[in-house]
Structure 1
């Protein structure tokens, strides 16, 4: 999809790219946007239009990543968005996948041991995601906000990038469905689970770009000021 601008109608964006619905939800924007432009919608919701556009364009277009523009936003603004994203993972996306995964398993013919193994793999992956979110909430995000306000972090920070592990596991899970599914199973449920996994994979991949290429350098730069 082409880049979107402040005068683009939000309804056109949603029509062309329905996967943005959970992204705009994180900004407090829900369906029923009328034919308002993005600028008008942001004004009505008290949002920074430039930040909203940058996030949407980054999500929609994998080749688009305006590092200089993103670096111009405050760490607090970026963290606020990532917190909403993490909340969406834990409250909606992960429970939705797990619920439908279990329904898929219970509706299979009982001879599909692969499904049971795949569910276990997903539950391990879910734990990895939740563990990272817990670390964000308890350590990384508060430390960045504190450093941005001139306060030294209260505990040592681990700034290693481990996000590709989660991306790789999501890709592995998707490929397990494609290559190793066997036996009788509900086709509609199976399709729903695969689409949900692919959606989560894209969401996490796009947000990892913001985490790793923007927030991680910001946190390292802030931390270096206290190491002098």
Structure 2
């Protein structure tokens, strides 16, 4: 179960709910706000009002929020209300967050937390594993940015490709968390203790959080984005 699921159970949020309540009850949803371009400082305004203030499609915002806060992958409740451009923008912003902010920030903390100044083979292995993992994530997301989203933009313009469809993406939508699991195991099981491990533990906590965030991101792609594009393909066809 993801952090979001654990915090909020199965409550379904509505346009009339206060946006501040949504965030206070589920702080992990701050990432959703950020990726939709929603700014803080909205007082007691409702979800609908805050979305309108920020030019965000409210049904799509709530579809993502409620999908992430459910314990199951119930897509049928969400697909009809989705705006494909809004959802695609959300995914693009998530890619930018991972590649340009979160993963580099974790690497910086990792270098500070492990002893890279000496011939520490475990430290070298940890950093190598992390860099390999980031490379995999970058390749994965750049493919989506350059190939998949370009294909969807053409669909939105009424252009259907005979050589590609979203099913190709869905069949090859590889998971990028296997190497991260191995990295966590190396740190937990084999990195030698050297007194104060607070920074290393904090970095490890960030790695766990990143893993959960990426898993939620993949769920949105698999269970919201792909079915929505399949419906769009039928319309264009």
- Partner Cα distance (1:5, 1:185) in 2: 49
TM-score by length of structure 2 reads 0.80
Unaligned runs of 5+ in 2: 1-7
Quote the offset at 1:48 in angstroms: 2.0
* Structure 1 residues 222 and 18: alpha-carbon distance in aligned structure 2, compared to 1, 3 A threshold: closer
User: What number of residue pairs does the alignment pair up?
Assistant: 224
User: Which of 158, 171, 192 is residue 150 of structure 1 equivalent to?
Assistant: 158
Cα shift readout 1:141-199 (whole Å, capped 9, x = no counterpart): 111221243213386564233332x1222333333333333231652321321222122
Match in the other structure for 1:194: 204
Determine whether 1:163 maps to 2:174: yes
Q: CA RMSD in A?
A: 2.8
Q: How does 1:58-69 map to 2 (within 5 A)?
A: 58-59=67-68, 61=69, 63-69=71-77
SS at match of 1:198: helix
Cα distance, 1:83 vs. partner? 0.6
Q: Please give the alpha-carbon distance, in whole angstroms, between the structure 2 residues aligned to 1:95 and 1:180.
A: 23
1:28 aligns with 2:37: yes
- 1-structure distance, mates of 2:231, 2:47: 33
- Change in CA separation of 1:109 and 1:151 when aligned onto 2, cut-off 3 Å: closer
1:99 shift after superposition = 0.9
SS of aligned partner of 2:216: helix
The gaps in structure 1 that reach 5 residues or longer are none
The 3 A distance-change label for structure 1 pair 64 and 9 is farther
**Retained in 1: the 8 A contact 2:56–2:86?**
no
In structure 1, the residue matched to 2:113 is: 104
User: Is 1:210 aligned to residue 234 of structure 2?
Assistant: no
